[in-house]
Amino acid sequence: MYELIQVSENCFYVDCPAKIGVVKVSENEAVLIDSGSGKDAAKKVKRILDEQNLSLKAIYNTHSHADHIGGNRYLQDLTGCKIFAPGVERAFTEFPILEPAYLYGGYALPELHGKFLLAKESEVLPLTPDALPDGFEIIPLPGHSFDMVGFRTADGVIYLADCLASTQTLEKYKISFLYDVKSYLETLEKVKSMTAKCFVPSHAPHTSDISALAQFNVDKTLEIADRICALCASPVSFEALLSALFAQYSLEMTLEQRMLVGSTVKCYLSYLAECRKVSFFFENGVMLWQKI
């Protein structure tokens, strides 16, 4: 863990729970793609950079989830590096309190204010093409998060952020976090057709061919949508639907899982409603979902 893995002449990643991209942009400078889950991760990355005689020029955040921006504040305070983030992700990175509030749907319980969901705030600039190192390209990858992006480097390496998960992760956690199911499926179809010297997903092994894993993620997403639709065969409340899903997938109902999976299931319901597969109505003050 926290080993530096080389995938091309100038492209590397730090092997950790949410991979951190390291790209050399000159003999003695590097940029990071994301910054890890917190101060401890950031310290380890900084030590790796020092061992390679590389100074940190900038951090490019793919999206605003805490395990990707958690090291921002420490590294920015230490080095003065610039940090860039795309679209809505910039707002959540500057004001991380938005993340637990968004998941909870209001002022979040104190238990949701831990580092798993609430990163330290950092000063963030808009991610634009002119902010990139030479040869970099922004790749929009929405779905998992609002405006998530990946990057293609001059070496032909693509950092894919969280746009797909490993087969092991999906088999273990069953329902991976999503914001926009339709956009997520469109992103996966785009990723399936990509070619690169190497793909570096944040939560799956690096590879030269991503198509099979992308299709596996498509299949799992559609499977979950079908299962939710089937559970709406008779009118069902959201809480009853969520409880049934947890039981069918043998998931443990902790507060954090309730927030992450619950938010994702709401997004599946929005997708299914948009596809005209389910609808909702109110009965005795309860919102009920039913298959069309």
119 class by beta-carbon count within 10 Å (0-12 exposed, 13-18 middle, 19+ buried): buried
Mean pLDDT value across the chain: 97
Using one digit for the tens of pLDDT, what is the confidence trace for 47-106? 999 999 999 999 999 999 999 999 999 999 999 999 999 999 999 999 999 999 999 999
Residue 209 lies in a domain: no
- Whether 39 and 149 share a structural domain: yes
Residue 214 lies in a domain: no
- What's the mean pLDDT in 211-218? 98
- Whether 248 and 104 share a structural domain: no
pLDDT at 285: 98
- Whether 153 and 248 share a structural domain: no
Residue 216 lies in a domain: no
Q: Is the confidence at residue 45, as pLDDT, over 90?
A: yes
pTM, two decimal places = 0.97
Q: What proportion of the chain, given as a percentage, has pLDDT over 90? A: 100
CATH number at residue 85: 3.60.15.10
pLDDT at 231: 98
Task: Give the residue from 162, 190, 208 where a domain finishes.
Answer: 162
SS (H, E, C) the chain: CCEEEECCCCEEEEECCCCEEEEEEECCEEEEECCCCCHHHHHHHHHHHHHCCCEEEEEECCCCCHHHHCCHHHHHHHHCCEEEECHHHHHHHHCCCHHHHHHHCCCCCHHHCCCCCCCCCCCCEECCHHHCCCCCEEEECCCCCCCCEEEECCCCEEEEECCCCCHHHHHHHCCCCCCCHHHHHHHHHHHHCCCCCEEEECCCCCECCCHHHHHHHHHHHHHHHHHHHHHCCCCEEHHHHHHHHHHHCCCCCCHHHHHHHHHHHHHHHHHHHHCCCEEEEEECCEEEEEEC
- Whether 152 and 21 share a structural domain: yes
pLDDT at 1: 87
Residue 187 lies in a domain: no
Boundaries of domain holding 276 = 231-291
Residue 142 lies in a domain: yes
CATH number at residue 257: 1.10.10
Torsion over CA of 22, 2, 118 and 173, rounded to 10 degrees? 110
- What's the mean pLDDT in 164-183? 96
Residue 123 lies in a domain: yes
Residue 59 lies in a domain: yes
pLDDT at 222: 98
Using one digit for the tens of pLDDT, what is the confidence trace for 226-279? 999 999 999 999 999 999 999 999 999 999 999 999 999 999 999 999 999 999
